[in-house]
Amino acid sequence: MKKIYDSWRIFLKEGVEEPFLNFGERLGNIDIVGSPIYHVTKVRADTLKSYNKPKDKDKFYRNEKGEIEYRIYFFKDFNEALGQAFSRSGQIDAIIGGISSGDPQEYDLLIVSVSDMQIPPGIVFYSDPEIPGSSAMYGARRDGKEWKIALKPENIKTATEAFEDSADYDEYLQENIEHKAQSR
């Protein structure tokens, strides 16, 4: 009888998940956060889906009440999103998951630009508590339920394409600045 009791006690102790209370500071809805916002991913898809677990941990996302919630992570700053896409594999694995070793370039990472019109009503944004001082944030429904965003194919670029486009834009800006300086 004691053996059954001890086994039951161990089962109950191990079966209860400790809360993963990693909620960030509330930033507000998309009108307050502003757009576009950027998502880094390794999978080309028609939609961005929310998840209730990080890919690099075995615990559920929980809000400030301890309830499970579904999240999608973003960056407010394009340059930061692009920089993360070219970062070390361990760092990018922590952000988007599923990259265990090797050069992130092997994965043809994608930068997805999301406008305010694509964000469903009722989504609230929070700062990412695991990357303090950055533009990283996540969106979650107020009720914590699953949600998704329909994507536009023209808003999805590989990190290399996005980098080349930004370099072309920087070059264009520099040429215009030089041209205006010469005109004076």
| CATH number attached to the domain at 17-179 | 3.20.170
Q: Angle at CA 83, nearest 5°, toward 77 and 86?
A: 150
Domain-wise residue ranges, the chain: 17-179
Residue-wise pLDDT tens digits, 45-85: 888 999 998 877 778 998 888 899 999 999 999 888 888 77
What is the DSSP code (8-state) at residue 60? -
**Where do the DSSP E strands lie in 21-80?**
26-28, 37-41, 47-49, 71-75
Pick from 47, 29, 146: which is nearest to 39 by CA?
47
Instruction: At 61, list the tokens.
Output: 């996302």
| Selected residue with higher pLDDT from 146 and 97 | 146
What b-and-e string marks burial along 26-37, b requiring 16 or more CB atoms within 10 Å of the CB? Answer: ebebbeebebeb
The model scores a pTM over 0.75: no
